Amino acid sequence: VNNMWVKRADIRVSRLKDFFLFHCSNAQDTEDLIQLENVVIMGVLLVLKRRNPCVPTEEWCLNDTALWVQIYGVPTTHFNSQVAIKLAELLGQAVDVDLQHGQKRGILRVKVRIDLDQP
């Protein structure tokens, strides 16, 4: 972890049952990890959420996350936020729309909150 992210101090990782706990020495590192919300490491999606120490591990809920999704084949005449949101809602809840980064290649980018328990 210490080699993978830009950080201000050491980040220790420990394991608790089926979970990995990230212990950050610096509070801003903690906030940066939480803001990422998820990362893919060696092909595995890790969902990053703040842990409530008062909640038992059996009740931890890591079954959703927001992912950037690329949508191809949308005619340029329909390249707008409303269409992006409608298409994104077929997958989950639309969180954000980026019309800038894929427009020249005909790709809509939408951040979608996805239920990881669904196939």
**Per-residue pLDDT tens over the stretch 17-66:** 888 999 999 999 999 999 999 988 889 899 999 988 899 988 988 899 99
Q: Which residue has the tokens 């909150």?
A: 113
What is the chain's length? Answer: 119
Please tell me the pTM assigned to this model.
0.77
Measured distance CA(28)–CA(84) in Å, rounded: 33
Alpha-helical runs (H) found in the chain = 27-36, 81-88
**Res 30: pLDDT:** 92
Helix (H, G, I), strand (E, B), or coil: what is residue 59?
helix
